Amino acid sequence: MIAWMQKHNKYLVVTIWVATIAFIGAGFVGWGTYQYGTKASTIARVGDIEISKEKFNFTYGNLYKEYANAMKGRFDEEKARKMGLTKIVYSQLVMQSLLLNLAKEFGVVVSDEELAEYISSIPAFQDKGVFNKKIYLTYLDNQAIKAKDFELIVKDDLIVAKMLKMLNRKAEPYELKVVESALSLMDKIRYEVIRSGDVDITMDEGELRKYWEKNKSSYMTKRSCELSLLWTPTDSIDLKDGEAKEYYEKNSYNYLDKNGKMMKFEDVKKRVEYDLRIKKGKKQALLDYIAFKKGKKTPSESKVLTIGDKALPASMWDEIAKSKVGAVLKPKVIDGKYVSAKVLSVEEPRPMAFEEARSMVEKELVAKKRISEMDKKASKLLEDTSKLTKSSDYLKVDKMEVLKPLSKEETSEFLQKLFTSNKKQGIIAVSGSRVVYKIVDQKRDDSWKIRSAEIVESVNNIKKREFEQEILKDLSRRYPAQSYVKGL
């Protein structure tokens, strides 16, 4: 999931959201400790627009909760830190602020009446379809946010949404014609697929040692440390009758389904009990930590771990990196338990001996030689395309015929590269393989015409995305961002 999120960060321009539409009801999550500049209530300034601490916290909490819901509770502060969630939120708010500057320049506003109408229309604030002020105020209390701050956040979102709608440009006839031409083009090819297993690789010990000598600075041991660990479990903490239900009722906005609606207690009972035990176990974990630090409590175990090992949370590794030998770190939560750690020793990275690095050297050298041999074989085939043994039917960019022995995914990758190439014949790299091809015939297919509405929508979306990206590039130059917080 984290990989997916990181991969799609570049599309944040397209998906600037109206926060309360997507995330209404998400719980507040602390986002760390930072040193503030002279404006303690302000995170940053972009042109004439200030980003408030309240807005940052609220946005972070909402986005954190959305990811937690998507990952069914398997998202925590360590994962958020690893993916750089604070920086993602900051980037989103900077982008929104750039657009708010433009809206201010153009005179785009949202009236108090429009704001009130929108907030009262949010289902989470309604009782039987009618806005309920008590539910609204309870929500604000659970989010630890004042009504005026929340309403300013919503108003900013609505202003951006209104302005983007005004800027939306539809596809021009010539743009549709270009796309239609690409979709109607059909290629018939002869081809050959060269897999990594189609080439034989041989090497001797001398080659391996020579390669290691040349690249030995690339083969280093990882920085490691010896730690004493003290575990404080929470699974044995007794919960009184009704205690979990009471905790749920006070924190119900933290338990939402994928649509942002509060889940029933019965459906999230185990999660609630887990969260409650973590909360109740914190006091004992701190007492254990103090006793451990004073030498009055023996550790549960000692381990030698490489820095960053997933056995410990990332935040603890951050602290270890800054700590001296003998330091005892405060407890962190991992897998439903608290763990305190004492740094016993640290071993810095050192160059590996050939024997230590041999398996890595062999793997890397084999991969390099295999690619080189595949390229040679492909180039030789391209010199005489009469030796291409496989043929295809007429191929289209939007209608895929699986080209054996390629998989469906590999075929899709090949076709994307084929239809963006202007070469009649060539070599295309596909997932570690090489495809040698020659186009033997082309023709046009007019069946795309029955999908004209779909094509118009696709072109409109592409144009919208590119237009918004170019606007933000220009606005970034006109309205520089200044952060008042270290680490953003």
Q: Are 179 and 165 in contact (CB under 8 A)?
A: no
Domain range 2-167+470-483, CATH architecture = Orthogonal Bundle (1.10)
Q: What is the pLDDT of residues 43-54, one digit of tens each?
A: 899 999 999 988
pLDDT higher than 60, residue 32: no
> Where would I find the beta strands (DSSP E) of 174-233?
185-194, 224-233
**Quick check: 227 and 369 in contact, CB under 8 A?**
no
Q: Strand pairing of 126-127 and 433-444?
A: unpaired
Give the pLDDT band of residue 260 (cuts 50, 70, 90). low
What does the block give as tokens for 476?
């970034």
pLDDT attached to residue 193: 96
pLDDT at residue 458, as a whole number: 73
DSSP-based three-state secondary structure for 464: helix
Tell me how far apart the alpha carbons of residues 278 and 336 are, in angstroms, rounded to a whole number.
7
Name residues whose C-beta falls within 8 Å of residue 175's C-beta, 6 or more positions apart in sequence: 459, 463
Instruction: Flag whether pLDDT at 425 surpasses 90.
Output: yes
Answer for the pair 190, 438: CB distance below 8 angstroms, yes or no: yes
> Which range (193-197, 199-203, 326-330) has the least confidence?
199-203
In angstroms, what CA-CA distances link 424 with 187, 246, 389? Answer: 10, 70, 17
> For residue 381, is pLDDT > 50?
yes
Q: Report yes or no: 26 and 253 within 8 Å, Cβ to Cβ.
A: yes
Give the burial string for 23-39 (b: 16+ CB within 10 Å, else e): bbbbbbbebeebeeeee
Q: pLDDT: is 97 or 29 the higher one?
A: 97
Could you tell me which of 389, 66, 341 has the C-alpha nearest to residue 231? 341
Report pLDDT digits (tens) over 287-334: 999 999 999 999 999 999 999 898 888 888 989 988 999 999 999 999
192 pLDDT tier (thresholds 50, 70, 90): very high
Query: Residues with Cβ < 8 Å from 309, sequence gap 6 or more?
Result: 317
Report the DSSP beta bridge partners of residue 429: 434
Instruction: Give the chain's mean pLDDT.
Output: 84
**CA gap 300, 305 in Å, rounded:** 15
Q: How far is CA 222 from the centre of its chain?
A: 26
Q: Kindly calculate the radius of gyration of the chain based on its CA atoms and give it in whole angstroms.
A: 29
For the chain, the distance separating the N- and C-terminal CA atoms, rounded to the nearest angstrom, is: 23
Q: pLDDT tens-digit profile of 453-478?
A: 777 777 777 777 778 888 888 899 99
Which helix (H) or strand (E) covers residue 433, if one does? strand 433-444
| pLDDT for res 25 | 40
Rounded distance between C-alpha atoms, residue 410 and residue 355, angstroms: 37
Least confident of 28-32, 57-61, 147-151, 259-263: 28-32
Tokens standing for 308? 């960053």
Q: How confident is the model at residue 423 (pLDDT cuts 50, 70, 90)?
A: very high
Taking residues 356-373, what's their average pLDDT?
Answer: 94
CB of 370 closer than 8 Å to CB of 196: yes
181-204+357-444 matches 221-347 in fold: yes
Q: For the chain, what are the domain ranges? A: 2-167+470-483, 181-204+357-444, 221-347
Is a pLDDT exceeding 90 seen at residue 441?
A: yes
Structure-block tokens of residue 153: 């956040």
* pLDDT at site 450: 56
Q: Could you report the per-residue pLDDT of 205-219, keeping only the tens digit for each? A: 999 999 999 998 899
Residue 122 in this model has a pLDDT that exceeds 80: yes
| Helices and strands, number each (H, E), in the chain | 16, 13
Compute how many other C-beta atoms are within 10 angstroms of the C-beta atom of residue 153. 20
User: Mean pLDDT across the stretch 99-108?
Assistant: 92
pLDDT at site 97: 93
Residue percentage of the chain with pLDDT more than 70: 88
Fold of 181-204+357-444: Chitinase A; domain 3 (3.10.50)
The residue behind tokens 């924190």 is 251
pLDDT digit string, tens, across residues 168-189: 777 777 777 766 666 677 899 9
Q: How far is CA 70 from CA 91, 146, 253, 278, 334, in A?
A: 21, 28, 15, 21, 20
Closest to 486 in 3D by CA, of 34, 31, 33, 32: 34
Q: CA–CA distance from 104 to each of 44, 161, 169, 465 (Å)?
A: 18, 13, 20, 22
Q: How confident is the model at residue 392 (pLDDT cuts 50, 70, 90)?
A: very high
Structure confidence at residue 66 as a pLDDT band (50, 70, 90):
confident
Contacts of 264 (CB under 8 A, 6+ apart): none
Rounded Cα gap, residues 216 and 352, in angstroms? 8
Select the more confidently predicted residue: 284 or 28: 284
- And the tokens for 354? 């050939």
- The per-residue pLDDT for 182 is 65
> Would you say domain 221-347 falls under CATH 3.10.50?
yes
Residue 142 or residue 377, greater confidence:
377
Residue that has been written with the tokens 């995305």 in this structure:
465
Sheet holding 224-233, edge to edge: 301-306, 224-233, 337-347, 328-334
Band (256; pLDDT cuts 50, 70, 90): confident
**Greater pLDDT, 3 or 86:** 86
pTM: 0.49
How does pLDDT run across 216-249, given as a tens digit for each residue? 889 999 999 999 999 999 999 999 989 999 998 8
